[in-house]
């Protein structure tokens, strides 16, 4: 740590020593009808000089070094313009006019975002059209790549801390939105994550690096009317970086706590003179350890993108993302008993040296948009996702027992699993977008068809070793004290206890070793991630965005057919067919130039997982059905640089599955009567001034279960949903100095609060769910930029607060990271 701080000091000092003063560039930006343009991005190409226009369309850049530059002006809805300028000893005034473009016909997001700030004005995910976020009658929050970079956020759970109502659920690629768990990894019938508006999935067991993203959008509430079956809490849309027509190249290097080393590149620009062929290439590398015992991450990311523009009316995009990862699976912290979270160190991990998790993921996308006429366009996209996993793990499932069957709470009973899994998905969308006027009423019509297929082919497998060893060499799934003469025993601290198939882990000793895994007795485990499985989704939909003066009404209707084949290509195949008709209605009213009021009602559904449809679980079960009612205000301030959203909502879902807590049938499931989530949310994002960027959030969420049956009623009814805090908030601010002496220097500071919450239900009638304590994390950052180079230092969890981000039970708790440091050096050219 001391060496890192010394390096940071020396680099910072050298940057200060080279700092120079300069001159003033100012001006005003208009559109082609001489109206002022507020919020336009102003930058000098390949430099750190950057600002945005005020409410009166004016801008200024101070302390600009003398020399020749290319001035770039960009704003959503207008063509980007460049102008060659020369800064000498006198101040320079430049006024420019931008030409409007019709972005509304682009319903597949394939144009790169030029802006370099926290605020995003337009979303494609909310309506499948290029619609201003303030005009969408639903809460849509986002995190831009600039905010990710400023915070040093590289994975999804760090990114979504900047969105109200979203919190981490486990260590995995797994979050909760408005109290509803959002997961969609291997084995799911469908994922609740999108890539550029197309359905995809993730490996779930670990979080990928996301250096190739332009931003992350969270579409609150069920987005089923647009994307079919979806999480009622919300849908995460990951938007990738697209090629730009101007040259930009960036290389960054990161180092920090836990021997973290990362390197990233981001290159973009034209490949020919007429700029009809554009490219972008993002590369990423990571080699990092963890505060958790035995854990590490080695990752390689390759993400190229090409855009071909054969004419002004046609654009074709080809994108790829390849991620190769080597790591170990982290099942969480085990503790003594069921309530004392501090009984073991947060670094404790019951995995062993033999363990490994090797994954490969690829996503290949092809997109086309063609403008048939000035008012009609055709858009289509196809996404292929592939995933391969090879896993071996030791994990804790309970406590070991003594000869009388009593738990030994310092000894974690383990099982070992060996798994090979492959999964693929194909996602296609095609639709027509038309602008139609009927008198004074404007219509933006979308009519389309979606298809999605998810497949686990034959060849996947899982072998588990668990239970207790019998004298005859076979394995018993559990220990029965009255039949103790049948079991093998071994000596543990002077006591003879039943011998497990897989060696137990002594929590008090906390020592790892190389296990003789060939001595384990394995059995095949046909889980939902290895049984051949195929699902298909066919969807037709129509949507109309109606504009009448200040009023905008959104009407949508979608019909979904879902087909699921469990045991695909085997003699025991079983088909489940489910369908849904999904209406959506919303309205936005422009109260004044700064404030829009909105209200919406939308419905959703989600099929049950394949594993829950079998007879042991009590299936087949009906799909989950949900609805959202939401109202709120969306506002823009400071010339459009800062936006704020306030919303109040109610979400209700029925038919969710939970364990029935039947001791005679541990696999039995029941459908809870209702999941109900009510709350309020506030989000603020943007620039208070050209120097001060801010993002702030707050969420109150009352998410409970009602209508449980059987043995589960005493535990589940009226309980706050797992890992769903009632109160949550975040704040982040960044200030960059522009004065003569401190130009290029900046500081960032932030806070993140999560209230107490219920961890995962224990699965026992007589034990109430343990509580996760509330926590407040404080973070800070320092930046110094000189011309094309920047040094950045992020210090997270300043007070070294011990906290838990989520948990299931006493064997699987998920502690958050202690104080950690990350240093980033970036060079643009």
CATH fold of 1-101, please?
Immunoglobulin-like (2.60.40)
Give the CA-trace dihedral at 398, 404, 406, 408, to 10 degrees.
Answer: -70
Q: What's the mean pLDDT in 292-296?
A: 96
d(CA 183, CA 180): 10
CA terminus-to-terminus distance, the chain: 31
Is the predicted pLDDT of residue 12 greater than 70, yes or no?
Answer: no
pLDDT band at 67 (very low <50, low <70, confident <90, very high): confident
CA separation for the pair 448, 432 (Å, rounded): 6
Neighbours of 191 (CB within 10 A): 27
C-beta of residue 517 within 8 angstroms of C-beta of residue 416: yes
DSSP SS3 for 288: strand
Specify whether the CB–CB gap between 198 and 190 falls below 8 A. Answer: no
Q: How many CB atoms lie within 10 A of CB 791?
A: 19
Summarised one tens digit per residue, pLDDT across range 557-591 is 999 998 888 777 777 777 778 888 999 999 999 99
28/37 Cα distance (integer angstroms): 8
Residue 472 half-sphere exposure toward CB, CA atoms < 13 A: 4
Give the DSSP letter of residue 18.
H
Condensed to tens digits (0 to 9), the pLDDT of residues 376-414 reads 999 999 999 999 999 999 999 889 999 999 999 899 999
Looking at the predicted structure, is the pLDDT value of residue 18 above 50? no
pLDDT in tens, 672-684: 778 899 999 999 9
Residue 795 has pLDDT above 70, yes or no: yes
Tell me the helices (H) and strands (E) count for the chain, helix number first. 5, 52
> Is it true that the peptide bond before 227 is cis, omega within 30 degrees of 0?
no
pLDDT at 402: 94
Length of the chain: 829
Q: Per-residue pLDDT averaged across 536-565, rounded? A: 92
CATH architecture of 240-463+525-828: Beta Barrel (2.40)
**What 3-state class would DSSP assign to 90?**
coil
What are the tokens at 519? Answer: 């001595």
pTM: 0.85
Detail the DSSP E strand segments found in 509-662.
Answer: 523-524, 533-548, 551-566, 574-590, 595-606, 624-637, 642-654, 656-659
pLDDT of residue 146: 92
List the domain boundaries for the chain.
1-101, 240-463+525-828
| Spatial CA neighbour of 600 closest among 611, 616, 589 | 589
Domains 1-101 and 240-463+525-828 agree in fold: no
């Amino acid at each position: 740590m001391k060496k890192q701080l010394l390096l940071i000091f020396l680099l910072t000092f050298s940057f200060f020593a080279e700092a120079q003063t300069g001159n003033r560039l100012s001006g005003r930006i208009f559109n082609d009808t001489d109206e002022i343009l507020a919020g336009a991005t102003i930058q000098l190409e390949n430099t750190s000089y950057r600002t945005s226009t005020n409410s009166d369309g004016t801008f200024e850049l101070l302390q600009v070094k003398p020399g020749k530059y290319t001035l770039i002006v960009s704003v959503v809805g207008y063509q980007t313009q460049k102008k060659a300028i020369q800064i000498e000893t006198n101040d320079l005034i430049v006024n420019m006019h931008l030409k409007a473009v019709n972005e509304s016909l682009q319903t597949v997001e394939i144009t790169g975002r030029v802006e370099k700030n926290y605020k995003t004005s337009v979303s494609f995910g909310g309506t499948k059209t290029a619609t201003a976020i303030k005009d969408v009658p639903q809460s849509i929050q986002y995190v831009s790549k600039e905010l990710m970079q400023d915070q040093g956020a590289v994975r999804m759970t760090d990114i979504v801390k900047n969105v109200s109502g979203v919190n981490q659920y486990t260590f995995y690629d797994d979050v909760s939105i408005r109290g509803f768990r959002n997961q969609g990894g291997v084995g799911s019938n469908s994922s609740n994550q999108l890539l550029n508006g197309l359905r995809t999935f993730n490996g779930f067991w670990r979080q990928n690096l996301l250096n190739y993203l332009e931003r992350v959008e969270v579409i609150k509430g069920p987005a089923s009317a647009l994307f079919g079956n979806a999480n009622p809490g919300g849908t995460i849309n990951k938007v990738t970086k697209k090629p730009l027509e101007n040259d930009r190249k960036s290389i960054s290097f990161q180092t920090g706590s836990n021997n973290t080393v990362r390197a990233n590149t981001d290159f973009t620009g034209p490949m020919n003179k007429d700029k009809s062929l554009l490219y972008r290439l993002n590369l990423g590398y990571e080699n990092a350890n963890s505060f958790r015992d035995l854990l590490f991450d080695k990752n390689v990311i390759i993400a190229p993108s090409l855009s071909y523009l054969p004419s002004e009316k046609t654009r074709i995009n080809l994108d790829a993302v390849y991620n190769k990862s080597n790591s170990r699976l982290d099942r969480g912290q085990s503790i003594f008993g069921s309530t004392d979270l501090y009984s073991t160190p947060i670094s404790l991990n019951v995995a062993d040296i033999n363990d490994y998790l090797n994954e490969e993921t690829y996503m290949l996308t092809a997109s086309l948009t063609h403008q048939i006429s000035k008012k009609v366009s055709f858009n289509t996209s196809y996404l292929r996702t592939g995933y391969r996993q090879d896993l071996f793990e030791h994990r804790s499932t309970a406590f070991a027992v003594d000869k009388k069957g009593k738990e030994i709470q310092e000894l974690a009973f383990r099982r070992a699993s060996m798994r090979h899994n492959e999964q693929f998905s194909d996602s296609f969308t095609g639709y027509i977008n038309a602008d139609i006027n009927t008198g004074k009423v404007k219509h933006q019509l979308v009519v389309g068809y979606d298809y999605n297929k998810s497949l686990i082919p034959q060849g996947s497998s899982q072998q588990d070793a668990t239970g207790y060893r019998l004298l005859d060499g076979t394995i018993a799934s559990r220990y029965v004290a009255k039949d103790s003469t049948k079991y093998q025993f071994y000596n543990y601290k002077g006591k003879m206890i039943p011998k497990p198939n897989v060696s137990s882990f002594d929590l008090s000793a906390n020592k790892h070793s190389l296990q003789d895994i060939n001595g384990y007795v394995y059995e095949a485990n046909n889980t939902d991630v290895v049984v051949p499985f195929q699902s298909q989704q066919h969807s037709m939909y129509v949507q109309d965005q109606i504009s009448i003066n200040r009023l905008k009404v959104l009407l949508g209707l979608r019909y979904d057919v879902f087909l699921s084949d469990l045991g695909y290509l085997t003699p025991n195949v079983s088909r489940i067919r489910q369908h849904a008709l999904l209406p959506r209605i919303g309205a936005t009213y422009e109260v004044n130039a700064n404030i829009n009021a909105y209200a919406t009602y939308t419905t959703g559904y989600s099929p049950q997982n394949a594993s829950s449809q079998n007879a042991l679980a009590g299936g087949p079960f009906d799909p989950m059905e949900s609805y959202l009612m939401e109202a709120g205000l969306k506002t823009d301030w400071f010339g459009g640089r800062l936006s704020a959203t306030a919303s109040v909502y109610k979400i209700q879902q029925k038919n969710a599955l939970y364990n029935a807590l039947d001791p005679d049938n541990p696999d039995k499931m029941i459908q809870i009567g209702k999941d109900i989530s009510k709350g309020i949310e506030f989000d603020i994002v943007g620039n208070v001034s050209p120097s001060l960027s801010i993002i702030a959030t707050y969420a109150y969420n009352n998410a409970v279960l009602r209508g449980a049956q059987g043995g589960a009623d005493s535990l589940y009814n009226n309980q706050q949903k797992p890992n769903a805090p009632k109160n949550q908030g975040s704040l982040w601010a960044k200030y960059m100095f522009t004065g003569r002496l401190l130009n290029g220097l900046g500081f960032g500071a932030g806070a993140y609060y999560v209230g107490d919450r219920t961890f995962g239900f224990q699965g026992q009638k007589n034990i109430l769910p343990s509580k996760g304590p509330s926590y407040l994390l404080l973070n800070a950052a320092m930046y110094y930029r000189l011309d094309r180079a920047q040094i950045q230092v992020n210090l997270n969890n300043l007070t070294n607060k011990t906290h838990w981000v989520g948990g299931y039970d006493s064997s699987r708790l998920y502690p958050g990271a202690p104080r950690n440091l990350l240093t980033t050096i970036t060079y643009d050219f």
